[in-house]
């Protein structure tokens, strides 16, 4: 049941919620869910957050919230956020209909690693 809720919530993520997505031409958008990057960056030693940290935990921290807003503008303001806030970005990616890319996750991971 939770999988279906997450799927519905993530698929409803508005294109305007991700600035990078709005600039991409329609034919360039992937149609299949993205997979986890083969070489995901390892969490930095002493880092407070990583891509496997639940979103609600990252957003509860001022610096973490700034990172999420930087890479996923508008995500935490979505009404559906309440449905997927307990999972991580890694878990959310397959349900994002391509809106959360490997490149976005890599950039987010780098910024999260800077938060001690």
Give me the domain span that covers residue 53.
1-10+48-116
Q: Is residue 101 part of a domain?
A: yes
The yes-or-no verdict on residue 60 having pLDDT over 90 is: yes
Tell me how many domains the chain contains: 1
pLDDT of residue 24: 44
> How far is 44 from 51, CA to CA, in rounded Å?
11
Percentage of residues in the chain with pLDDT exceeding 70?
A: 61
The per-residue pLDDT for range 82-92, each reduced to its tens digit, is 999 999 999 99
Residue 37 lies in a domain: no
Q: Identify which of 87, 101, 85 has the alpha carbon closest to the alpha carbon of residue 19.
A: 101
pLDDT band at 47 (very low <50, low <70, confident <90, very high): confident
Q: Is residue 56 part of a domain?
A: yes
Q: Is residue 34 part of a domain?
A: no
Q: Tell which residue, 99, 51, 102, has the closest CA to residue 74.
A: 99
- Which pLDDT band holds residue 44 (cuts at 50, 70, 90)? low
């Amino acid at each position: 049941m939770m999988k279906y809720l997450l799927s519905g919530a993530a698929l409803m993520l508005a294109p305007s919620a991700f600035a990078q997505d709005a600039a991409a031409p329609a034919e360039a958008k992937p149609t299949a869910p993205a997979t986890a990057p083969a070489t995901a960056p390892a969490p930095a030693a002493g880092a407070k957050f990583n891509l496997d940290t639940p979103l609600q935990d990252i957003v509860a921290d001022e610096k973490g919230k700034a990172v999420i807003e930087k890479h996923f503008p508008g995500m935490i303001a979505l009404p559906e956020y309440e449905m997927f806030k307990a999972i991580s970005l890694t878990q959310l990616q397959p349900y994002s209909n391509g809106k959360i890319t490997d490149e976005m996750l890599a950039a987010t991971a780098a910024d999260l690693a800077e938060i001690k």
